[in-house]
Structure 1
């Protein structure tokens, strides 16, 4: 079967997009967004300048941009017949563009299920899955009423957020009053105890090909407040008690998903599984790469295969637990000190290390679960061993950032 060309949405550099550009460049066209140009560093643009790229302009109707794309692509030797969007925030625009361009896409309803957290949880319940109690809210008083019924703390999040951006754990009415609820649509959600897990899956022709669970040493809401930022693919040793494959199949079949990469979070508490959130795109941070290391296979190649319409052969090699530890970025400013990569690679269990900055460079910290200055991949016989090794890395790693003049508060006269 002749390989199909994929139109790949590309709004930020990632291990997946770099792999695609390097390994499948002859069957790849990039779809970019002018509003996200600042998130594409010049070095990355140079790295991918051998690929054809179509830019969606700002403030132009998407229908007009799709017509312009069809005219543009008609004059090129390689024309996409398939579509892949690995971006959570671009999901709605990207899928609508794919529909207008005549490519496989999610329907508007499917986009709501995987982007609007209230519609998502409504669907979970329709499928018979447990979820935390939740309610759409737009005032601090509504949040307080919700807490009166379900208790503090309350998780407050925009319905379309990702990576814990603008997501808060509210411990009382004063916390609720401190959040501006007028600019976006929000939900209040009951806080669940127990253990939070992740699961990723590949889907082809409506079939779930396999499911890979991940442990999280710390919850995302704790991560944005400074806890260790890590995920561990559990290919050996104890994993979740839940039948994760059955859980994922219910969601895939219930939402009518034909193909793609699914990432979800769920909780185990009081002996039961509670569905958290689901996205139809690659997992954040380096979770997808973890699975490739943990199961010994080309996970990015398999993912591109399903988006190209082909069923990948999932032939696994050596199995182990492998996690990604995101290296902390303590603030914005200029990096003055940073542990070099060679020292990280010498630590127990470290199989790869990536630093995205260097001394003398300017960095910007964000309150998000992917905030970091780089990452390391760490292997071990169990998730517990990987976590111990991660903490050893954090004990060794050092970064110092000197605030720039504009980041330093003015002295009080």
Structure 2
């Protein structure tokens, strides 16, 4: 099949989270070509509804250089050649960016990928840039964790170097607490860092040609790591008119400059202690998880995902804001077992402040959620005049 288009063409890496993909596909001023990794599990419904979209399926068992050559032949035969590249898939960051380099598309370099994906390289870079961050150390065994705690005190946080969503991440409060931690998977690189007792915030920014277009700040009612133990799982975007606890735009530009981010979406997390100390946690060059991007769009009243995609097309968007409110997403609780009762969408919409509902589970489902911060039976969007009005745990 041959495709003809005069619009800009972007090669978009698929992800299980299809919100951004759907937004891109709804545009009438850009042509989307999907890059599908055969290792990514996609729902049959999604595959069916995107069957009309030109898609190159990459075979992950084959050498990436061979797949790049096959892709170039495929685009030549199809008569369509993407000029732009966008990867919202965190787990595929290294392979996706290297593939883009092999086929001549804009991409992050190997060092940049390390800074935004490998938590050790990331914090090494923070040290070079003078950005405050928790103390950290690579570890191979739980005995190494104990040695780190002897130097820095309990509690500590143990995590894989390249994970996300708090997967395989543990807060350990004492030597005795090490006994509850599963043996470290030798196939993964591990690190330990000091625990920061403070409020957690999420920083998102839109970057065009190396400059921050704007930055958006969210707060977490409880730190994300505590969600794994049952704490409220929510992200609340500050209203545009609110006073922020940090200069979000200046911080985003410092990170953009230091990490060499050319365009797209920059996402980071940081902590502020009760005494006002700042500690940068982690950063990524892709959309943040859960519904944080949608919170920003709803709070400010604009097409946030459309603005993000524009930057990958080498455009410099000028967002037009039409709202001044705080909006948060509350992830609905989940636990293993047969689901026998769940609130309906109508019931949830009647609750004060709820402006949107999305349920992913129904009565009768057998649930086996992962130990991850994104695990949920759905979410609701809640509005308020300020982020504090979004509510605090009682």
What is the aligned counterpart of 2:306 among 289, 301, 308?
301
1:74 offset after TM fit, Å?
1.4
Tell me if structure 1 keeps the 8 A contact 2:12–2:33: yes
Tell me if structure 1 keeps the 8 A contact 2:199–2:222: no
Are residues 1:186 and 2:184 paired?
no
Partner of 1:328: 333
1:154 offset after TM fit, Å?
0.4
Partner of 1:275: 280
Partners of 1:387 and 1:4 lie apart in 2 by: 43
Partner of 1:15: 19
Partner of 2:148: 146
What is the aligned counterpart of 1:196 among 195, 200, 211?
200
1:357 offset after TM fit, Å?
2.4
For 1:52-73, what per-residue CA distance to the aligned partner results, in whole angstroms no more than 9, with x for missing partners? 1111113111111111111111
Judged with a 3 Å threshold, the aligned counterparts in structure 2 of structure 1 residues 145 and 161 are, in CA distance, closer, same or farther, namely same
* Correspondence list, 1:14-413, <5 A: 14-23=18-27, 27-37=31-41, 40-177=42-179, 178-181=181-184, 182-236=186-240, 240-269=244-273, 270-331=275-336, 333-387=337-391
What is the TM-score with the length of structure 2 in the denominator?
Answer: 0.94
Partners of 2:219 and 2:209 lie apart in 1 by: 28
Q: Number of aligned pairs?
A: 386
- The SS at the match of 1:293 is helix
The unaligned stretches of length 5 or more in structure 2 are 1-5
Tell me if structure 1 keeps the 8 A contact 2:200–2:269: yes
- The SS at the match of 1:123 is helix
- Aligned-pair RMSD on alpha carbons? 1.8
Partners of 2:59 and 2:364 lie apart in 1 by: 34
* Range that drifts further, 108-117 or 56-65: 56-65
Partner of 1:4: 8
The unaligned stretches of length 5 or more in structure 1 are 393-413
1:348 offset after TM fit, Å?
1.1
Tell me if structure 1 keeps the 8 A contact 2:8–2:29: no
Tell me if structure 2 keeps the 8 A contact 1:198–1:215: yes
- The SS at the match of 1:328 is coil
Tell me if structure 2 keeps the 8 A contact 1:214–1:234: yes
1:201 offset after TM fit, Å?
0.1
